[in-house]
Amino acid sequence: MRIIILLLLSMISFGSFADDGYRLWLKYDLIKNETLRKNYAQKLTTVSTNFSDETAKVTISEIQKATSGLLGFTSKTMTSASQANLVLKVGSIANKNAEAFEIISSKNQINITANTSKGVLYGVFELIRRMQTLASLENIKIASAPKIQLRMLNHWDNNNGTIERGYAGMSMWKWYELPERIDPRYIDYARANASIGINGTVLNNVNASARFITSEYLGKVKALADVFRPYGIKVFLSVNFASPKILGGLKTADPLDPEVKQWWKNKADEVYKLIPDFGGFVVKANSEGEPGPMDFGRTHKDGANMLAEAMAPHNGLIIWRAFVYNFDPKGDRFAAAYNEFKRFDGEFHANIIIQVKNGPIDFQVREPISPLFGAMEKTPVSMEFQLTQEYLGWATHWVYEAPMFEEVLKTDTYAKGQGSTVAKVIDGQLFKYPLTSMIGVANTGSDRNWTGHPMAQANWYTLGRMAWNHEITSAQIADEWVKMTFRTDAKSTETIKKLMLESREIYTNYTNPLGVHHVMGESHHFGPEPWVEKAPRPDWTALYYHRADSIGIGFDRTEKGSNSVAQYHLGLRNKYSDINTIQPEFLLWFHHAPWTHKLQNGKTVWDEMVTRYYEGVKSAENMQKDWASLKGKIDSETFENVEARLKTQLKEALWWRDASVVYFQKYSKMPVPSPYQKPTRTFEELKSLVDVYHVR
């Protein structure tokens, strides 16, 4: 019997088992090290709680799942703390944050205490994470509290089951089955989110169908809210600004119209009657064809404040997106959001958050920060990251996004002198924002492994962990995630971490070196299409951004050009303004650099661009080699899945490289520098490859 068990254990640890990835990072496979297991077990044989709400039930259930999987027995519940090893307690702790927790362990006991049951749940997940990563439970003394209040996913899911920019199947929300049937997946979704501190979910696309706030749909939304509540997750909805017309039959949706105001008030009352802890509305207004207050000669401020008034009696939030840009032939899309919102700073109601995208253009591969971070002193602004890889190779390219988020959060806005980082803006420290939030556009779908690319699960994981504590580095997050997800030997763990940490730069090199941006396929946003010169709007072309000509390449945003750089505080402006000292990664975001301009490494812009395209491809090839070393070290299903995707990635990296080099060479007229070989495919051949994606 012992032999069979050992055999089974070794099969688990050496990856002979297939794993479909459904369990995400919450894998509770038996810990092989017997001493460690016994050590953990001593502290977890029995558990007690001094609270008995719905959260208590899911907390105990999670402890029992974890112990039975990791340790091979199920913790017994005790009625009194004196009989228990694991004591879960709602009490008063030093940090008054409702989500904070403390973990203190002594020889045979662990105490997790929090001000609320939700805080205890987070503490329990921290404890489980420690066991999953095989960390010691001896003498723990942890006090933890989130740095950001609202840590949220935004699903761009439509009510017909499709997901805008979704690459992992269809929507997980089965609207046609709700409210009667609760898919068990909803519970696993809530567990996964709670385990990383995510406490809000916007269920639907910001390009919102008005249907989501009909009585019919609100009943369905309530069913989901009831599932998520014990896990501390609040539900939000994106709303269509024209709803009073579409649903209410009113003649207008003018935010200053008394009937419109009343319509929204009634709607808010209806929502809160059903879902008393409803989070709020997210609004994309007057952006990319969505309706908004400007349709009626009003402003973003008028629209947001009107909705905020309707929600205020219920403590509901309005999250108003700053992603707005009208085409201005003399302007620069880069500057649009700042121009629109800066002037209203301080004039928004107290329950409004202005949600700013990561990047003044649109979640590009590498963007400088939005100038709005650091500009809004009296209005809370929040960070919108994009987890789904719209511009990062969908689900065939491996891009671990944490280094990108880290880079952005650490960027200094210089708003109040040196050290005024984006992190300090959005966590409220810098301007004392009363509301703080970080959201990620979700990368989940109905695929069995949730995210399509198995490694993209790490991006979801990152959002939660960074929103809780933006001081954790991307390397630390990778370390946790790999250990929890793969539980493999130390060398393999290091290999996967290395691949993760390098992946974003590799992708950037073969797609958008030196700050080239918005050169992806038109509308579907996949693959290279730098030659797009005509689109429904000029600022949807590639040419608008790269501006390649016989002299050089890049968008001049200095004072000689659009002067958008002036929207930054001086410290940052200086970093970007000088073509000779700017970090090469941002060069073409701010300068129209001559092809022959010499970078600090002595190479010309053209040579450095070409080098990066080629080196990016070479690195993509190396990713395959590194991955191959993991055969037998992780489960075979994930191994083969990633192995295949890496092949596609390399094929597409070559496509990006060749298409970009051949196209830009038409302008530079410079040779491909040695030791690199000129692409053999013709421009026409490369151009035609994109058609495959256009018919999707």
Per the residue annotation, which of 177, 288, 471, 685 is the catalytic one? 288
Name the residue nearer to ligand GCV (CB basis): 119 or 291: 291
Phi and psi torsions of 317, nearest 5°: -100, 155
Q: Which segments of 445-561 does DSSP mark as H helices, in order?
A: 457-468, 474-486, 490-511, 543-546
Per the residue annotation, which of 254, 302, 362, 384 is the catalytic one? 362
Name the residue nearer to ligand GCV (CB basis): 258 or 289: 289
Peptide bond into 258 cis (omega under 30): no
Return all residues near 166 (Cβ < 8 A) that are at least 6 apart.
Answer: 156, 157, 388, 443, 445
CB 122 within 8 A of CB 116: no
CB 190 within 8 A of CB 233: yes
Name the residue nearer to ligand GCV (CB basis): 288 or 685: 288
Distance in Å, CB of 327 to ligand GCV, minimum: 14
Binding site residues, ligand GCV, CB under 6 A: 156, 164-165, 205-207, 284, 288, 323, 362, 390
Distance in Å, CB of 150 to ligand GCV, minimum: 18
Write out the two tokens for 590.
């701010």
Can you spell out the DSSP letters for 309-353?
HHHGGGT-EEEEE-------TTS-GGGHHHHHHGGGTT-S-TTEE
- 688-696 contacts, C-beta under 8 A, 24 or more apart: 689/527, 689/655, 689/659, 690/521, 690/527, 690/528, 690/529, 693/521, 693/524, 693/526, 693/527, 694/521, 694/523, 694/524, 696/524
Residue 362 designated active-site: yes
Residue 340 designated active-site: no
Can you spell out the DSSP letters for 365-416?
SS-PPPTTTTT-SSS-EEEEEE-S-TTTTTTTS----HHHHHHHHH-B--BT
CB 26 within 8 A of CB 191: yes
d(CA 72, CA 70): 6
Place of tokens 């709400």: 53
Angle subtended by helix axes 184-195 and 215-228, to nearest 10 = 60
Distance in Å, CB of 655 to ligand GCV, minimum: 21
Name the residue nearer to ligand GCV (CB basis): 267 or 284: 284
Distance in Å, CB of 526 to ligand GCV, minimum: 11
Name the residue nearer to ligand GCV (CB basis): 304 or 642: 304
Parallel, antiparallel, or unpaired for β 110-114 and 101-105?
antiparallel
Per the residue annotation, which of 367, 390, 427, 635 is the catalytic one? 390
Distance in Å, CB of 168 to ligand GCV, minimum: 16
Name the residue nearer to ligand GCV (CB basis): 354 or 630: 354
Which residue type occupies 33?
A: N
Residue 390 designated active-site: yes
Distance in Å, CB of 523 to ligand GCV, minimum: 8
Secondary-structure breakdown of the chain: helix, strand, coil percentages, each rounded to the nearest 5: 45, 10, 45
Name the residue nearer to ligand GCV (CB basis): 288 or 640: 288
Distance in Å, CB of 147 to ligand GCV, minimum: 25
DSSP conformational letter for 33:
-
Distance in Å, CB of 540 to ligand GCV, minimum: 9
Distances (CA, A) of 468 to 131, 665, 672: 20, 46, 46
Torsion, Cα 361 366 367 368, to 10 degrees, reads 180
Name the residue nearer to ligand GCV (CB basis): 89 or 333: 333
Distance in Å, CB of 517 to ligand GCV, minimum: 14
d(CA 9, CA 21): 19
Closest CA to 507 of 529, 527, 531: 527
Q: Catalytic site residues?
A: 288, 362, 390
